[in-house]
Structure 1
Amino acid sequence: MLRTTKRIAAWVIIIVLVLAAIPLVLTPVYAIRSVHPVSTLMLWDTVTVRPQLRDWVSIDDVAPVLLHSIVMSEDGQFCRHRGVDWGEMLAVVDQALDGEETRGASTITMQTVKNLFLWNDRSFVRKGLELPLALYFDLVLSKRRIMEIYVNIAEWDTGVYGIEAASQHYFGKPASKLTAREAALITISLPAPDLRNPADPSPTMRKLARRVERLASRSGAYVGCLDAD
């Protein structure tokens, strides 16, 4: 019985070590521009034979206003932090300790590693794993490459992955041709892609889009790290 328990424990440790090594090994590989990573959701769709729509596109072929809209809407300090926005994180912790409803504090980098290596839920376990992965990801990859991966693996509608597929899906045009208003609308659909339709926005969506459009037009130094290498 003791021998069996030890054998099981040994296998559990091996499995944990292998799973932990996957992001460490793959992250440097993902620094190569010709490599097109896939998310855990894409892999699950493949396993379950669920239809997917995906078309990888270079960041050079994405309208800059879309990138600016994402930064200003999702992670205003993207170009300044090192993977984790500790100011936002501490503010969320303070809110939780005070018994208040907390807002999200995930950076674009954290969302990217979650999509690549983890799963979708709001558990503290997943959040705890996100932090070191985001720090490592930011250390190895450039901001521009992180954004390129993010916009290409994000799910913009059920089974619709990447900004090129989303742009064609919603507006019938390539991502390089998105207008400022279209970029804002498609950006605000990210938190709830199955509920928000950029091609048929509700009054609330239009209001949010106007705000994001204003922010993107004034992004300036906030998006400097996204300039072409």
Structure 2
Amino acid sequence: MAAKRTTGRGTAREKTAGKTVGKKPAGRRTGAERPAVEKPDIVVPGPGLRRWFRPRRYLSAVALMLVLLLALPLVLMPVYRLSGARPISTLMLGRVLTLQPVERHWVALDAIAPVMQQSVIMSEDGQFCFHRGVDLAELKAVVDDALDGGATRGASTIPMQTVKNLYLWPQRSYVRKVFEIPYALVADAVWSKRRILELYLNIAEFGDGIFGVEAASRHYFKRPAAELSRRQAALLAVTLPNPGERNPAKPSKLHNKLADRIERLSAKSGAYVKCLGARDRKEAG
């Protein structure tokens, strides 16, 4: 009897059975199967948002903003050269923004007693008329002392203190000095010596909320700055390094001792204040 030929094709039932082998019945869960966990929705930023948060673009924007802030003083210096400009210091601005009182009366340099001009130069910057904004010899001496482990001391000139008061923060730091020095060099090139001293004496702090020599003279001595005596000028001048602790109207023993020295120096300051005697081409009306 002849054997049946197989064609390799199964019956429909066999195919169906073959497909269902190993499959789990629908609607039933085995013990080993874990319940499905819903994944949280993830918000994918669009292309515009991704471009905005690219680190390189963000850093570039920050760098540009810093450059503009650092360049602002250089833009303002020609403006402050004008005699009609009466700028305020960053410390004054901070007090205004925090609703603290500010006492300041702007006066021209010619309305400030010569003894006051002499006293502040001899107290703060004896080489004021001779350097170009920065006293390089004094700065080198300070750096050498610091490297040798000596006591730290300041080397700020009047131009350096002026730009610090106008453009920078009051807290001392080496970072601030990095900006002070180039700003002072530019200021000395743009402003006359008379204008620098006029700016300084109108924005320097002489006490809590008391800015400028006119306000200080009225507050402590009940007279305008034009009528200051040599002794009063010396007391005001030695107040400047530490206005929070020194009171010209009630000087301590140390305060009086410092004022004695400045009073003597200012009386012999002729050669040191010659640059204040005449207007120069940098002064603008």
**Which ranges of 4 or more aligned residues in structure 1 deviate by more than 6 Å?**
none
Residue 39 (structure 1) aligns with: 89
**Displacement of 1:74:** 0.6
**Displacement of 1:7:** 2.2
Distance 2:256 2:99 in 1: 35
Residue 13 (structure 2) aligns with: none
Q: How many residues align?
A: 229
| 1:194 and 2:244 aligned | yes
Residue 94 (structure 1) aligns with: 144
**Displacement of 1:166:** 0.4
**Displacement of 1:228:** 3.7
**Displacement of 1:138:** 0.2
Output aligned runs, 1:154-193, within 5 Å: 154-193=204-243
Output aligned runs, 1:47-196, within 5 Å: 47-196=97-246
3-state SS of 1:37 partner: coil
- Cα shift readout 1:121-170 (whole Å, capped 9, x = no counterpart): 22111011100000000000000000000000001001111110000000
TM-score (normalizing by structure 2) = 0.79
Output aligned runs, 1:19-30, within 5 Å: 19-30=69-80
Residue 46 (structure 2) aligns with: none
- Where in structure 2 are there 5+ consecutive unaligned residues? 1-49, 280-285
Report which of the two has the higher share of helix: 1
TM-score (normalizing by structure 1) = 0.98
**Displacement of 1:39:** 0.5
Distance 2:182 2:277 in 1: 26
Distance 1:17 1:104 in 2: 28
Distance 1:128 1:30 in 2: 22
3-state SS of 2:54 partner: helix
Query: Considering only aligned residues, what root-mean-square deviation do their CA atoms show, in Å?
Result: 1.1
3-state SS of 1:103 partner: coil
Distance 1:209 1:154 in 2: 18
3-state SS of 2:273 partner: helix
3-state SS of 1:156 partner: strand
When structure 1 is superposed on structure 2, of 194-203 and 87-96 the one drifting more is 194-203
**Displacement of 1:45:** 0.8
AA of the residue aligned to 1:112: T
Residue 275 (structure 2) aligns with: 225
- Cα shift readout 1:200-226 (whole Å, capped 9, x = no counterpart): 111211111111000000001110111
**Displacement of 1:31:** 0.5
- Cα shift readout 1:168-211 (whole Å, capped 9, x = no counterpart): 00000000000000000011011111111100111211111111
- Where in structure 1 are there 5+ consecutive unaligned residues? none
Distance 1:55 1:107 in 2: 24
Distance 1:153 1:136 in 2: 19
